Amino acid sequence: MLSKSLLRRNYALVPGLKKPDWLKVKISNSDINKFTKNIVEKNRLTTVCEEAACPNIHECWSKKHATFMILGDTCTRSCTFCNVKTGMPDAIDIFEPARVANAVDSLKLEHVVITSVDRDDLPDGGAIQFSKVINAIKKKSPQTTIEILTPDFYKKKNALDILNTSTFEIFNHNMETVERLYRDVRPGASIDRSLNLLKDIKIKNRKVFTKSGIMIGLGETYDEIKDIMTLLLDSNVDFLTIGQYLRPTKNHHPVVEYHHPEYFQKLKIEAYNKGFKLVSSSPFTRSSFHADSDFKRLKELVA
């Protein structure tokens, strides 16, 4: 049996599990799917749909939904679950906000999710670029609601103040996993840092909804999932997403278990009983999957 330290150093030694039937993905080459791809390419944009090898890309793009990843395609961190490449990012693209706004307008999006790579190399962690993108979208498509999925802005003390100079409806920051697995899954991240970020944005902006998500199948226990739910509620998080972890390549963290849809339903009931306003829990759930309809439900629930 391989030691845990060896597994962390060489995940390629760990054989993969066979995917169950409920994780089969339908491929779509519809005209709408092609239209979405064309808009993304025409505006020279990066999407998390492609970079993270999201299994929902065909369904989302066939509805003209795309999640835009700003600040380049290279991350300054190296999480073991993530397919985004690691290295030294390029300089900030000053024309990116306008191109994102053009794409949102062309796709006629009612709701859009904007995320980014980690940019530890920048003094503000990329907060100013987030703000510029938000403002550009609101100027060109004022009725579009915006959800930002941000990094943790480590040691970027003014990041939240910068973000709050813009208007967005949902602030999302993912925990990704339970506390025990942070060292293996999110090296360079801190559970307390992430929780404090979610708590602080709510203090600074009481109108914004907060959202966070975890992946399961990395080796966590049911009790550990309940514990992270409690920590998120203590940080005043409104909306929780729970999805199945899928291993991007053999060099990434292995899947320890593929959970049955019934298990996700059990977790959903647990989360609602604990007090979350909205919960999305299924094998295919991702932060931005069905984000538009989820936001509408969230507004109705708190109206």
Q: What is the pLDDT of residues 129-153, one digit of tens each?
A: 999 999 999 999 999 999 999 999 9
pLDDT value for 10: 63
Residue 210 lies inside a defined structural domain of this protein: yes
- Say what the pLDDT of residue 41 is: 92
Residue 112 backbone phi and psi in degrees, to 5: -135, 145
Instruction: Say if 10 falls within a structural domain.
Output: no
The parent domain of residue 236 ranges over 28-302
Strands 170-172 and 68-70 come out as unpaired
Q: Residue 195 and residue 152: Cα distance in Å, rounded?
A: 9
Asked if residue 276 is part of any domain, the answer here is yes
Report the pLDDT averaged over residues 53-82.
84
Within-domain flag for 14: no
Residues 6 or more apart from 107 whose CB is under 8 A from it?
Answer: 36, 39, 64, 65, 66
Q: Is there a domain that residue 184 lies in? A: yes
Cβ atoms 2, 13 nearer than 8 A = yes
Q: Indicate the pLDDT class of residue 243, thresholds 50, 70 and 90.
A: very high
Q: Look at the block and give the residue holding tokens 């980014």.
A: 116
Of residues 290 and 10, more confidently modeled: 290
> Residue 16: inside a domain, yes or no?
no
Rounded CA separation 211/48 (Å): 18
The residue written with tokens 């990434």 in the block is 252
**CATH at residue 45:** 3.20.20.70
Structural domain total, the chain:
1
- Decide if 286 is inside a domain: yes
Distances (CA, A) of 113 to 134, 173, 249, 276: 10, 12, 25, 21
pTM above 0.75, yes or no: yes
Beta strand 239-244 pairing with 209-216: parallel
> Do the domain assignments include residue 18?
no
- C-alpha distances in Å from residue 223, one per residue of 229, 238, 255: 10, 20, 19
